[in-house]
Amino acid sequence: MKKESIIFFRLIRDYLDVFLINQKGASEHTVKSYKQTLNQLLDYLAKLFSIKLSELSFANISVKSIEGFLDNGEKILGWSANTRNQKLAAVKSFLNYSANHDTTLTAYYLEIGTIPLKHVQKGPNIDFFSEEELGILLNQPDQTDKKDIRNMTMMVLMYDTGCRIQELLDLRIKDINIDEKCPCATVTGKGKKTRIVPLMEKTAEHLKNYMSLYHPDNQNDDELLFYTIHNGEKTPMSQDNVQKFIDKYCQMAINKGFKIRSHIYCHIFRHSRAMHLYRNGMALPLVSEWLGHAQINTTREFYANADVEMKRKAINEATSKINPVKCKDYDFDFDNDDELLRRLYGLV
């Protein structure tokens, strides 16, 4: 690695492992979020400049490249304006740290500091898929293929629990109870707050099948529920990995002639489950608790005014006495080893 690249990656490591944890006292969730943002940025920059990960340096940081990164996240990964702003804040925070440790890097921090936050509208429209779209998507995985069985289980569990993608990836074997009459999952959310979410019987069946394939011995309850294999070892799965297989199934459905959006980002599963429950009569305070929102106002802002269809149905029922709709369940050489580079510099 060149000197400028070594400086770049060492500052990333110190920022993540020393500053955020020891000096700022950031939560585990915050560190994971910032780490994910920097990984996404590195991948984008390497692709943008057609260079190896190990060749990146502060020279690749500019208003144009960072705005391109943010725009790409919105268009390709489905980031909301809030998510975009959070990613920008993470990048600015890292550059501020770098500038404080090396004054020659101040220009990069000041330049990126000119990028404004994106305006966030109050009372946003909630994007969610229909139960028909969900059925089409879940029909795409091949249930005779081991990896597809894993992917199917993840999508079903993500929808059924309404958990955030990182909450799903943080689940451990001990968090899943599928042997009792009332199967449930213990989800750890923001601020390390836990909530117990009941599981549908069908979801429990998917989990039992998955466990028999991926955790046949089940000797360590503290193991991650979902994982990938890298160099023969179990490693945490990334959010990008989940997004890739969801996009793959969307494209498969489109190729078969189904009407489904070409991109369903992970958070839509959470929005959709909440909206489906709300549509079918679950009280807003219960939806709030189920989502793990700290305050019901958060839930009310997102969902109470989000569904025009609910209002239309309510008017029709009030005038024509139609029965309510029934609920449906449903310093090495890193040239050929980006993973090693990420590990050594605290990015995984």
Answer yes or no: 190 catalytic.
yes
> Which listed residue (10, 52, 190, 300) is catalytic?
190
pLDDT at 184 over 50: yes
Between 3.30.420.10, 3.40.50.11540, 1.10.443.10, 1.20.140.10, what CATH number should domain 131-305 receive?
1.10.443.10
pLDDT for res 325: 37
Report the alpha-carbon distance of residue 155 to residue 302 in Å, rounded: 23
* Check whether domain 3-123+334-344 has CATH 1.10.150, yes or no: yes
Ordered by start, the domain boundaries in the chain are 3-123+334-344, 131-305
User: Is the pLDDT reported for residue 2 higher than 70?
Assistant: yes
**List 270, 271, 273, 279, catalytic entry:** 270
Instruction: Please compute the mean of the pLDDT values over residues 276-287 and round it to a whole number.
Output: 73
What is residue 76's predicted lDDT score, i.e. its pLDDT?
85
What's the CA gap between 148 and 120, in Å, rounded?
37
- In DSSP notation, 154-202 reads HHHHHHHH---HHHHHT-BGGGEE-SSSS-EEEEE-GGG-EEEEE--HH
Reply yes or no on whether the pLDDT at 77 is more than 50.
yes
3-state secondary structure of 197: strand
CB of 110 closer than 8 Å to CB of 100 = no
pLDDT band at 293 (very low <50, low <70, confident <90, very high): low
* Catalytic residue from among 35, 84, 87, 164: 164
Q: How far apart are CA 260 and CA 272, in angstroms?
A: 15
DSSP label of 59: G
- Amino acid present at 170: D
Containing 189, the helix (H) or strand (E) segment is none
Strand partners, 176: 185
Amino acid at 128: F
- What is residue 332's predicted lDDT score, i.e. its pLDDT? 47
pTM of the model: 0.58
The HSE-up count of residue 307 (CA atoms within 13 Å, CB side) is: 20
The candidate with the shortest Cα–Cα distance to 137, out of 150, 164, 155, is 155
State how far the Cα of 157 lies from the Cα of 206, in Å rounded to an integer: 9
pLDDT at 140 over 70: yes
The tens digit of pLDDT for each residue in 192-232 reads 888 888 899 999 999 999 999 999 987 788 999 999 998 88
The residue from 34, 214, 303, 345 that is catalytic is 303
Confidence of residue 264 (pLDDT cuts 50, 70, 90): confident
Residue in 10, 101, 263, 267 annotated catalytic:
267
Euclidean distance between CA atoms 178 and 182, whole angstroms: 8
Element (H, E) at 312: helix 308-320
Is the alpha carbon torsion for 89, 74, 243, 328 positive or negative? positive
The answer, yes or no, to whether residue 246 has pLDDT greater than 70, is: yes
Only one residue has tokens 């793959």, namely 248
**Is residue 267 flagged as an active site residue?**
yes
Q: With cut-offs at 50, 70 and 90, classify the pLDDT of residue 265.
A: confident
- Please answer whether residues 266 and 246 qualify as being in contact, where contact means their C-beta atoms are separated by less than 8 angstroms: yes
**Does the active-site annotation cover 215?**
no
Question: Is the pLDDT reported for residue 329 higher than 50?
Answer: no
Greater model confidence, 272 or 45: 45
Judged by DSSP in three states, 268 sits in helix
**pLDDT the model gives residue 276:** 80
Confirm whether 270 is a catalytic residue.
Answer: yes
Nearest-angstrom CA–CA distance, 6 and 10: 6
Residues 23-61: tens digit of each pLDDT: 888 888 888 899 999 999 999 999 999 999 999 999 999
Q: Is 303 a catalytic residue?
A: yes
